Amino acid sequence: MSNYEIVSQVIKERRSIFPASYIKKEIPVEVINQILETANYAPTHKLTQPWRFTVIRKAGLAKLGKELGRLYKNLVSPQNFLQKKYDSFAEKTAQADCIIAINMAVSGKIPEWEELAAVSCAVQNMAITAESLKVGTYWSSPPLIHDLGEFLGLAENEKCIGLFYMGYHNEKPWAPNRSSIEEKVKWMEE
């Protein structure tokens, strides 16, 4: 197989695998490091390299679940509070073997959206690498992430933009739900 065929196949097989599908099997630290290493090769304007990650494992998962529940309880009005939603934070974090907080350092050198684009590319590299290693992933962006800075020990110029859930799974591949690329491309040749 050519490099193109391998990369194309992995990209096309990548799917969001949700925590409920994860099995109890530890992801070795070496595998987590392989996934993170490829993030470092994302495109980055002016080489700001804005991606920052906090790896949460083992007892840290329960701490994160508890913190998300605390934030939810404190930030949602009593009439909008749902016990099921509150309980889901601890449940989802317990289902994952590893959660990587996706953080962004804002340099001030370039527009913030360009920093966000670079971090998004870094996460795509992680998702593709994880797929190639048969690790399921899911990028979650609940509104509570904006309040995780203190919990994650982020610097003043850093912000959390998502949680990258990871776990081994037994899901069978399924066909993607994508319309044809031809519907999304215009060609200008004259």
Tell me the per-residue pLDDT of 131-159, one tens digit each, with 9 for 90 and over: 999 999 999 998 899 999 999 999 999 99
Gap between the Cα atoms of 16 and 54, Å rounded = 20
CA distances 98 to 101, 142, 144, 159, Å, are 10, 17, 19, 20
Gap between the Cα atoms of 19 and 137, Å rounded = 8
Question: Which domains does the chain possess?
Answer: 16-171 (3.40.109.10)
Tell me the per-residue pLDDT of 86-136, one tens digit each, with 9 for 90 and over: 999 999 999 999 999 999 999 999 999 999 999 999 999 999 999 999 999
Mean pLDDT of 12-20: 95
If one counts every other C-beta atom within 10 angstroms of the C-beta of residue 106, the result is 17
- Sequence-distant (≥ 6) Cβ neighbours of residue 128 within 8 angstroms: 7, 10, 11, 14, 38
Tell me the per-residue pLDDT of 37-86, one tens digit each, with 9 for 90 and over: 999 999 999 999 999 999 999 999 999 999 999 999 999 999 999 999 99
pTM for the full predicted model: 0.94
